Structure formats: C-alpha cells, structure tokens
A = this chain, B = another copy of it.
Amino acid sequence: MKSEHIPKATIARLATYIQVLSEFKREGTDVVSSERLAEACSVNSSQIRKDLAYFGEFGVRGVGYYVQDLITSIKRSLGIDRAWNCGLVGVGNLGRALLRHREFSRKGFILRGAFDCDPYKIGEIVEGMEIVCSRQLPAKVKELSLEIGIITTPPERAQRAANYLVGAGIKGIINFAPSRISVPSHIHLEYVDFFHHFYAAAFHIRFAEHQE
C-alpha cells in the first residue's frame, strides 16, 4: 500500500509490535500469525495487518510473518534501522536515570552529549560521559552530529533549552518537562507526560467504584 500520512496511534502500536515480537523471538518462535500477535498485543488482528500495510507487504499468505524479518521490516519502516545521536539537556534526577538506561543505545538512540547549566555539575562524569555547559551546545551538536534533543530541565527552563537546541541545528526535540514550548515548524516536537496515565488510572478506578 505505502501511504503518506501515518496515524500517531499506528506508530505507538508498531513500537508494541516490536516489543512483543522480540519476546517471541527470545522464546524461539520463528513464525507468527497476525491473530496470535494481535492477542499478545491486545489489539484486533486486522489492525495489525492494516498498520503494516502502510509500509509494505511483509507477510506470507497462508503462513504468517517471519518474526525476525518482521522486526527488521518494522524497524526499517520507522527509520530505526540506524543509530540516532541524541543530546540530553538538564542532568537532574530524570536526566541521570535516562543516561544510565542501557535500552537507549540498544534501541539505536545513542546519548552522546549531556548538558547542564549548573557549574557544580559541569565536568562531572555520568556513565562515562562528561557533563558539558549548555552554552557549548552549538559546537557540540555539530561535533557529535546530534539530531535529537532531550529536554529534562525544570519546566520553566524548557523553552530556553529548546531555543538553544534549535539554534544549534537539532532536528527533533523530546520534552520531558511539563510545559508547552514553541519551536519552528520544521522541528519535530514530542511531549512526554506520563501523568496522564496516572490520571487515567485514577479516573477509571473511581468510575468503577462509582458503578457498583
């Protein structure tokens, strides 16, 4: 099929598919049907086939999908069949947890630069990486070919951090701070806010209680 606009929800689901397929692979399963994958992901099986159809034909009719092949295909479709260099701005509690998280490099997102404005933190080594002054962002973005910026500063500093990143020529920003920021339209911006998961939990739990 190969279409233009891919729904946000499809991208999120593809991430789940990769996760579950990797588990299948670890278990030694070589081939999987959309039906079985669907069950493991708690989605509809035609949903899976439709999601995949945006990018091409990856299955074999009458057989199913070859697990390893499908993982590779999805990764290529998403553009994560290569490494992405990332820079992290704001090395506090969350920033440190992210820098120490092995999964990033395993998934192809290499944290190559760590930036902070606190003179006490600059020069410190975290996970083999030296914390650098945020003023050096423009130089470092070029030097390290950083493409994605991760903002883990306090919310009131997020806009400034974004400005630095944009000025330095970054291509996309993932903002973990709970504040809205503005960037030029050619910069891809993602907000990470997991409080809405807590809100959803609270809402549904209370609603369920209210039912009985």
Chain A residues with CB under 8 Å of chain B are 6, 8, 11-12, 14-16, 19-20, 23, 40-42, 78-80, 84, 93-94, 96-97, 100-101, 103, 107, 109, 147-148, 171-174, 178-180, 186, 188, 190-208
Contact = CB atoms under 8 A, between A and B. Distances in A.
A45 to B, nearest CB: 16
Contact of A201 (B12, B19, B174, B197): B174
| Copies of this polypeptide in the complex | 2
Given A190-B198, A190-B200, 11 more contacts: A11-B199, A11-B200, A19-B193, A78-B203, A79-B206, A80-B199, A84-B198, A93-B97, A96-B97, A109-B202, A188-B208
Contacts of A148: 198, 201-202, 205
A12 B208 CA distance: 19
A202 B14 CA distance: 13
Contacts of A78: 199, 202-203
Contacts of A197: 174, 190-192
Contacts of A199: 11, 14-15, 78, 80
A11 B205 CA distance: 14
Given A180-B41, A196-B11, A200-B11, A205 B19 contact: no
